[in-house]
Structure 1
């Protein structure tokens, strides 16, 4: 696990100097980032930029979970992967890129689709979880595990020219969960990219926003948008903020005190 009390080397101080100059971060904030562990579920379009920004920002330990291998169709938008990684497990492809960005952090590849005990074990190691998956069953499973274990969750989605993200934090009494927003038994779906397509820069924007919110949580910064679904139409570059509340009958989070 990352050591929260270690001193930065001169090289690290130079690497993170633009963070350290910020009053909201400083040296103590950078130490918080260096001591943190973040789990990224899905190393596709959203997980790629999120992982790269978190690695470059100095998150001490990144857990990368994905069961897929790199395909040629991925390279249009999944920027953590390279032509030479075709056929390689996405977690190992991403690991190679992230080590090249920042060799001072720990990267833990998990080449499987997390579920059951393995999902709980991975989330249990994280301070914040990023759901960058592309299907509702995984999103709901991650949400349930995060609220069971009390871990903040940043969820994102993108298809065509439409993106969205939301933050859920079971440590905050007023925070709803993903199930409060999307019924697990409903027919809602953002559709697979293979069917509907996706504009490449869109996933970069949403994935970067997920990384930003994760870092704000780790730094205890104000302004985390709990109870808001942030929606982007990149055709017009219009952002909308849709407010939603806890469902008092939610089977996932209604039992919290």
Structure 2
């Protein structure tokens, strides 16, 4: 760790953290020494990036292979109208650098795939799954679980969102969802729409779980999923229990993500 010595500008910038007994200069130093990979610079990734940068996470990687479209701007708040057509990693990185010069930003304009995931995750302490599709979600779960890298998952749909964390020896995403739903069973945002403010709430919870991980305060969402309904303004908690037969974190796990075909059901093939 870099140590609790902070310069005068940092003492000013992070003063509201430092005066908290639960954070203090040591906790802020841990954040400054942290390296987090955010997968997705869209609706969820935008608030995650905003709050991790503001909190002083020292190194933030951004992985996204998409470009900004005007229809994104209703919810993807790290991009502006002048960014339409730009790679999302470029406009997101620019936003983070402007928000906090303490942060080292590492843009990764590549698709997350079985061929790229190891290089993308290497060197990061924590991963935020802010992706918008099932193949990426299952791939992040499988790789991070097998590699022992903690991560937090979030997803949104119309008025609803969900967040859970996987930070230790507990269950993994496949314990809750063994495989992806059939194609077309869960329409995407382009088909059904999404409330623009919804990812702000869900992404902020993901960022909270990330900050807590490095500060070492509170209880994580490991083993629990929070389900948020913005229309009714309700939060429900669902238990996520380990599955001994899970092919990724169970008693007889796979050896590598190379054993899985990340398309259609994303199911782990039986032996």
In structure 2, C-alpha distance between the alignment counterparts of 1:65 and 1:83, rounded to whole Å: 21
Matches within 5 A, 1:131-150: 131-150=129-148
Deviates more, 1:40-49 or 1:5-14: 5-14
Q: Any conservation in 1 of the 2:38–2:128 contact (CA below 8 Å)? A: yes
Number of equivalent positions: 252
* C-alpha deviation, 1:222, in angstroms: 2.7
Q: Note if 1:178 corresponds to 2:173.
A: yes
Q: 4+ residue runs of structure 1 moved beyond 6 angstroms?
A: none
> Given the superposition, is the C-alpha separation of residues 162 and 185 from structure 1 closer, same or farther in structure 2, using an over 3 Å criterion?
closer
Deviates more, 1:15-24 or 1:190-199: 190-199
CA offsets per residue over residues 110-149 of structure 1, 9 Å max, x none? Answer: 0011222421122122111100001111000000110121
Q: Name the structure 2 match of 1:92.
A: 90
3-state DSSP of counterpart to 1:180 = helix
Q: Name the structure 2 match of 1:218.
A: 214
Q: Name the structure 1 match of 2:77.
A: 79
TM-score, length-scaled by structure 1:
0.94
Q: Any conservation in 2 of the 1:128–1:218 contact (CA below 8 Å)? A: no
Runs of at least 5 residues in structure 2 that lack an aligned partner in the other structure: 254-271
Q: Name the structure 2 match of 1:163.
A: 161
TM-score, length-scaled by structure 2:
0.89
* C-alpha deviation, 1:94, in angstroms: 0.2
In structure 1, C-alpha distance between the alignment counterparts of 2:186 and 2:11, rounded to whole Å: 42
In structure 1, C-alpha distance between the alignment counterparts of 2:189 and 2:224, rounded to whole Å: 25
Q: Name the structure 2 match of 1:236.
A: 232
Matches within 5 A, 1:186-201: 186-187=181-182, 190-201=186-197
Q: Any conservation in 1 of the 2:6–2:25 contact (CA below 8 Å)? A: no
Superposed CA RMSD in Å reads: 1.6
In structure 2, C-alpha distance between the alignment counterparts of 1:190 and 1:104, rounded to whole Å: 40
